[in-house]
Structure 1
Amino acid sequence: MSSDHTHSHKNHDHGHDSCCAPAPKPVHKHAHDNCCSAETPLAPQKALAASNDEILTKFKVANMDCPDEIKAINESLKMTGVFKIQANLMSGTVEILHSPDIHKSFLRKKIDSTVVKVLDDESPSTIGQNQKRIWTVAISGVLLLAGLVLQWMNVVSVFESILLLVSIVLSGSLVFPKALASIKRKYLDMNVLMTVAAIGAIAIKEYSEAAAVVFLFALSELLESLSVQRARRAIQELLKIAPQKALLILEDGSTKEVEASEVQISQLIRVKPGDVIPVDGEVIKGHSSVNQAPLTGESLPVEKSQGETVYTGTINQEGSLDVKVTKAFSDTKISQVIKMVEEAQEHKAVSQKFVDRFAEIYTPAVLVVAILTFLIPPAFFGGSWHDWLYKSLVLLVIACPCALVISTPVSIVSGLTALARRGVLVKGGVVLESLGKIKALAVDKTGTLTEGKLKVEKVVTFNSFSEKQALEIARAMESHSTHPIAQAIVTYADDKITEKKIVDRFSTITGFGVEGIIEGHSYLLGNHRFAHDVGICTPELENKLRELEDEAYSIVIIGHKPHDNCKGEVLCILALKDAIRKESKDSILELKASGVERVILLSGDNQKTVSSLTKDLPLDEAHGELLPEDKVKHIESLKTKYQSVAMIGDGINDAPAMAKASIGIAMGFVGSDTAIETSDVTLMTDDLKQVSTAIKAGRRTLSIIQFNIFFALVTKAIFLVLTLLGYSNLWLAVAADTGAALLVILNSLRLLRI
């Protein structure tokens, strides 16, 4: 939570200003206005959404296991009336935003023309499709092995050639159609390269080489597909924690089991002990503890009673709960989590963009080199046409950038999925990669390093006013705010008084406080600067504030503003304190151990309160009395020095600073719908330790991606040189390409174990 409760934390620095020092003029804003200054965060990338004159059609597809297939879909749907295409490798879906004139069946036909197939209820299951491909590759491999055995035994017969040719046809059935579709689109992909290599090998009667090329490539494609499906299953496991059924409470009090997706907002459901909560809602009856670990990663159950919010996918433990539904199933917390992970591909990491651009140049470049290798030595230097054709075919095989292209998206999605399981939501690969580069971290105080549960510890009254009178005014004013300080004051007042007063013309004054009219008199609640500005500050107030600030209290001044014939005066000082979280010290130490060089506290609280935290916490710097624009300036300064800087806040009051930072991190996604919209990283619980988990994951992901790219490029380079020197053949080239692809995929999947 942010500490910018504007009327309570911006206290005067007694060392430089005096009671009569002029304060900046406050800018009046109503409570519902946006109090953030200057900079506002960039809107996050949204999923496709249709307007009135557009239609959004979504297909579930099969055989989309490589970025090449996504390019094919984009090319096939490039036409007038199609406004946007979003093909998602990791969720196996294609979303198309188009005009009403284009029919769904036409779009389906276009996708099917690319070898990627649209699935419907009657389509074979993924398991069934896998079995078919596995059997095809397996039989092809057996025929290849039989042909090689005959060749090794020097048994010269037509039977050997038939076995090898049938092996080529079987494996080729998974490769050649894709190559033909690419050629029709005038696009050169890996399938085309392998097909040309196979045809070339057949032309020079190297049947065993041709069969080996096609078989090993088909095997590589199959294993690659199975690996991508594993990553997809990891995402789908998130969905499994949300139950499909809900126990709806009918008007007569009886219950009926229905689909969770059919439950409407405001309907009542019953959650029995041991059941998983099917939708987000508010408890209206019952008391129980709820295990939120599936959603947030919290190890301890959370007590839930009337008025408390419960979330989809969490587990009710011992008591029965009647819950009023507050969100449709599609809008629940877990649905947001799943959507974020599935859409992560749309936020490509820098390394992934590099790989995509590199592959576009690399593949045709090697094709040109292969053609020149075939033509120049025989034509100008008397080389053997047969030998140099063979070498050019080896170069074609090596040209496949499969290992390079597939490893990055698998790494990113594996990392994002693993973090989501731990209660850390990261908006895409570019953010995950940036997390691995963080050098400095700016943190807010209230709710981040501290409990965020302020308590009124002292009440100091002035000018013959009683505590009761002051609290009546304070409660009336603060009941309009949801900030932790306001809630603490209201809670304290509720225990002391019963009378309630009505506030007219309530407004918020950014950086100073709030004001309103009660029973014809104008009152204020705010900081020391506010008291200066309206002219009610006195030496007595100065002395008392200095005393309380020395004890590290947060201060709220209640005052009667000068108006009409009323003389303004200070009524009361409320002194509040917030306990430091027990895990804060260890969390900061873990952050530094993860590679963060500097941890800086930026707070709106008074400087003495902020400085007092440095005695108990290993902070490198602590800056207090900051308005939102001041925090932005500090972030700009940190970025100049450290380049990559993260800012932790609540996603609302700290939005300008979070937007300015390299990475904005919001604490406590559960309960805050705005956090996911305003931050790059959202922690599902108020646990600072999750930040070090995210940073470590970012560093590990970045390391694995860099290794994968290096390994794939070095492997290609080595075999290019070996081929030109005459030390490689088609067998080795395909084995190297297949092995490299599988190794980088398996290396990427290690990230699922974060």
Structure 2
Amino acid sequence: MLKLAPQTALLRGADGASKEVPVAEVAVDAEIIVRSGSSVPLDGVVVTGESAVNQAPITGESVPVEKKSGDTVFAGTINGEGSLTVRVTKRASDSTLARIIKLVEEAEEQKAPTQRFVDKFAAIYTPAVFVVALLVALVPPLLMGGAWPEWAYRALVLLVIACPCALVIATPVSIVSGLTALARRGVLIKGGVHLEAVGKLRALAVDKTGTITQGKPQVTGVIPVGDISEEEIMRLAAAIDAHSEHPLAKAVVAAAQAKKISWSESSQYQSVTGRGATAVIDGHPHFIGNHKMAHELGLCRPEIEAKLSEIEGKGQSLAILGHTSHGNCAGKILGILSIGDTMRPEVSNALTLLHDAGIEKVVMLSGDNQRTADAIARQAGIDEAYGDLMPEQKIEHIKRLMAEHHYVGMIGDGVNDAPALALASVGIAMGAIGSDTAIETADMALMKDDLTRVAEAISLGRRTLKIIQFNVGFALVVKTIFLVLAFTGHTSLWLAILADTGATLLVIMNALRLLGGKTNLNPSA
């Protein structure tokens, strides 16, 4: 996390000159310059300049957010094509990124590991059995006139049958089998405590960007305006956007390439910060930009507005393609491209499997706007969705869910998810797309970013708990029966050895069943 924000900032002096200084030396209300393509070093408010800022590391928003004078920027976010002058509002130690780091530390401290029943039991059981064996060997011969060989033999039988091998091995062999079975399925869990917690999950919180969705913008629709084909719209749009590194422009070019559409090179390309871009194609000036750009060019009409409102209502971004007026040629809008972060193909099936595995509620916590969060939640079939959340607000939702359901999992992939991952009963990171911070903080990682594996892990966790409980119960029953027989003299040393070794082998074989076959998503199986 500390590497996300630069260690130095370009401090702007009273004379307008800038100099590079450590971020720790920058005071509140000082002005800093954030160049194109660089990370924002400190939280602040934009004084001059316009640019699209990638806030995904902090808020998780999938599409860069346009920033202008008066807008807030966060340390660790990435500036786009424009240059910004920012008035610092918080010192480095108080920035949003610093608060995220502190939240992770506090959440980790609240996660005390569970002490197993067997550990507590063995601490009392082993010395108690040894004392009882000594009493069995000494008391009857000394106080009751018993034969020394007979009672010494009974004491040895008691010690052998009381040996807690099966009892002690019941938990670790089941845990190792469960961890191995999940590792074979591409799910890595950081220890037995977390596997036990996975088996107890009752609710699940999920991030949106990179978890429910693909995590990168894609063209989701092309709407021609007038007598023009979708292919022609893509050709013209790609000819302009091929010059840009903006994520939305890259999405347009990628969509054209995927459809094997070729385009001629445009000339006189010019980026219009906060609006879009213009270029000349086949001798005609064209533009591609946002709703604001179309308004400023005076090209919006009521029927266009209706289509734009429909796209924006789905929480998607849009790119309007048209050509500007020149000479005797009137300007007009040629087409509209809708661009959004598309849902992962396995999500609907994964949610069904999660409910089948015993998850009572799935809640989406997103830094993206509420409208987008609602649209994705409806499409995916998620129970509840909350948008516009900062990392500390995600923590509040996790606390609420834990109060209601006790055992709550959190799935995420970004730095902004790390505090919630740390606080949840089980933090689950997307292993391929996820940030190093998310994977390091989480208790479980999905190495193939396949959400259906979460349901498998929960089901296998529940099976592991049931096998542990059975193994412990079985070991205790066997021990109890043979301890009674040892006291009464109705068993022999060889039978005691057979019972102890047999119980241990049966416990191991029962645990090894976790390794075989596919995971049954019915937790009672």
TM-score tier by shorter-chain length is: 0.5 to 0.7
The CA deviation at 1:740 is 0.8
- 1:394 and 1:729 in contact (8 A); partners too: yes
Q: How does 1:494-533 map to 2 (within 5 A)?
A: none
Q: State which of 501, 511, 514 in structure 2 corresponds to 1:738.
A: 501
- 1:472 and 1:500 in contact (8 A); partners too: no
Q: State which of 437, 444, 452 in structure 2 corresponds to 1:681.
A: 444
The CA deviation at 1:737 is 0.6
Alignment partners' CA distance in 2, 1:527 and 1:738: 76
Question: What's the secondary structure of 1:452's corresponding residue?
Answer: strand
Q: How does 1:198-209 map to 2 (within 5 A)?
A: none
Aligned twin of 1:31: 78
Alignment partners' CA distance in 2, 1:348 and 1:751: 27
Alignment partners' CA distance in 2, 1:498 and 1:603: 40
Letter in 1 for 2:340: K
Structure 1 residues 413-422 or 601-610, which shifts more? 601-610
Alignment partners' CA distance in 2, 1:391 and 1:693: 48
Q: State which of 435, 445, 449 in structure 1 corresponds to 2:212.
A: 449
The CA deviation at 1:723 is 1.8
Q: How does 1:117-266 map to 2 (within 5 A)?
A: none
Aligned twin of 1:654: 417
Instruction: Tell me whether 1:410 sits opposite 2:173 in the alignment.
Output: yes
Give the paired residue count. Answer: 386
Letter in 1 for 2:189: V
Letter in 2 for 1:586: N
Structure 1 residues 598-607 or 666-675, which shifts more? 666-675
Letter in 2 for 1:443: V
Aligned twin of 1:198: none
Q: State which of 605, 613, 616 in structure 1 corresponds to 2:376.
A: 613
- 2:421 and 2:428 in contact (8 A); partners too: yes
The CA deviation at 1:730 is 1.4
Alignment partners' CA distance in 1, 2:154 and 2:394: 62
Aligned twin of 1:637: 400
Letter in 1 for 2:78: A
Instruction: Tell me whether 1:372 sits opposite 2:419 in the alignment.
Output: no
The CA deviation at 1:731 is 2.3
Question: What's the secondary structure of 1:682's corresponding residue?
Answer: strand
Aligned twin of 2:351: 588
Alignment partners' CA distance in 1, 2:437 and 2:75: 24
The CA deviation at 1:613 is 3.5
Letter in 2 for 1:390: Y
For each residue in 1:356-379, what CA deviation from the matched residue of structure 2 results, as whole angstroms up to 9, or x when unmatched? 443343222111001111222232
Letter in 2 for 1:608: R
Alpha-carbon distance change, 379 to 714 in structure 1, aligned in 2, over 3 angstroms = same
For each residue in 1:91-145, what CA deviation from the matched residue of structure 2 results, as whole angstroms up to 9, or x when unmatched? xxxxxxxxxxxxxxxxxxxxxxxxxxxxxxxxxxxxxxxxxxxxxxxxxxxxxxx
Letter in 1 for 2:342: A
The CA deviation at 1:689 is 0.5
- 1:8 and 1:555 in contact (8 A); partners too: no
Q: How does 1:526-541 map to 2 (within 5 A)?
A: none
The CA deviation at 1:693 is 1.0
Question: What's the secondary structure of 2:209's corresponding residue?
Answer: coil
Structure 2-normalised TM-score? Answer: 0.62
The CA deviation at 1:425 is 1.0
Letter in 1 for 2:475: A
Aligned twin of 1:86: none
- 2:421 and 2:438 in contact (8 A); partners too: no
The CA deviation at 1:407 is 2.9
Q: How does 1:201-350 map to 2 (within 5 A)?
A: 350=114
Alpha-carbon distance change, 488 to 663 in structure 1, aligned in 2, over 3 angstroms = farther
Aligned twin of 1:598: 361
Alpha-carbon distance change, 410 to 650 in structure 1, aligned in 2, over 3 angstroms = same
Alignment partners' CA distance in 2, 1:663 and 1:391: 48
Structure 1-normalised TM-score? Answer: 0.44
Alignment partners' CA distance in 2, 1:378 and 1:730: 20
Instruction: Tell me whether 1:701 sits opposite 2:459 in the alignment.
Output: no
For each residue in 1:437-473, what CA deviation from the matched residue of structure 2 results, as whole angstroms up to 9, or x when unmatched? 111111122333233342246899xxxxxx98xx779
Aligned twin of 1:400: 163
Letter in 1 for 2:203: A
Question: What's the secondary structure of 2:204's corresponding residue?
Answer: strand
**Identity score, percent:** 51
Structure 1: tracts of 5 or more residues without a match: 12-22, 46-346, 461-466, 479-483, 507-512, 514-524, 529-539, 558-572
Structure 1 residues 699-708 or 33-42, which shifts more? 33-42
Alpha-carbon distance change, 2 to 730 in structure 1, aligned in 2, over 3 angstroms = farther
Aligned twin of 1:428: 191
Q: State which of 464, 467, 488 in structure 1 corresponds to 2:251.
A: 488
Question: What's the secondary structure of 1:578's corresponding residue?
Answer: strand
- 1:549 and 1:606 in contact (8 A); partners too: no
Question: What's the secondary structure of 2:380's corresponding residue?
Answer: coil
- 2:429 and 2:438 in contact (8 A); partners too: yes
Aligned twin of 2:22: none
The CA deviation at 1:709 is 1.5
Letter in 2 for 1:683: L
Alpha-carbon distance change, 677 to 526 in structure 1, aligned in 2, over 3 angstroms = farther
Question: What's the secondary structure of 2:427's corresponding residue?
Answer: strand
Alignment partners' CA distance in 2, 1:671 and 1:376: 66
Alignment partners' CA distance in 2, 1:396 and 1:527: 82
Alignment partners' CA distance in 2, 1:377 and 1:556: 94
Aligned twin of 1:109: none
Alignment partners' CA distance in 2, 1:454 and 1:614: 17
The CA deviation at 1:8 is 4.1
For each residue in 1:577-596, what CA deviation from the matched residue of structure 2 results, as whole angstroms up to 9, or x when unmatched? 23333321111010111111
Letter in 2 for 1:594: A
- 2:398 and 2:420 in contact (8 A); partners too: yes
Question: What's the secondary structure of 1:685's corresponding residue?
Answer: coil
Tell me how large the CA RMSD over aligned residues is.
4.6
- 2:413 and 2:430 in contact (8 A); partners too: yes
For each residue in 1:59-96, what CA deviation from the matched residue of structure 2 results, as whole angstroms up to 9, or x when unmatched? xxxxxxxxxxxxxxxxxxxxxxxxxxxxxxxxxxxxxx
Question: What's the secondary structure of 1:576's corresponding residue?
Answer: strand
Alpha-carbon distance change, 5 to 459 in structure 1, aligned in 2, over 3 angstroms = farther
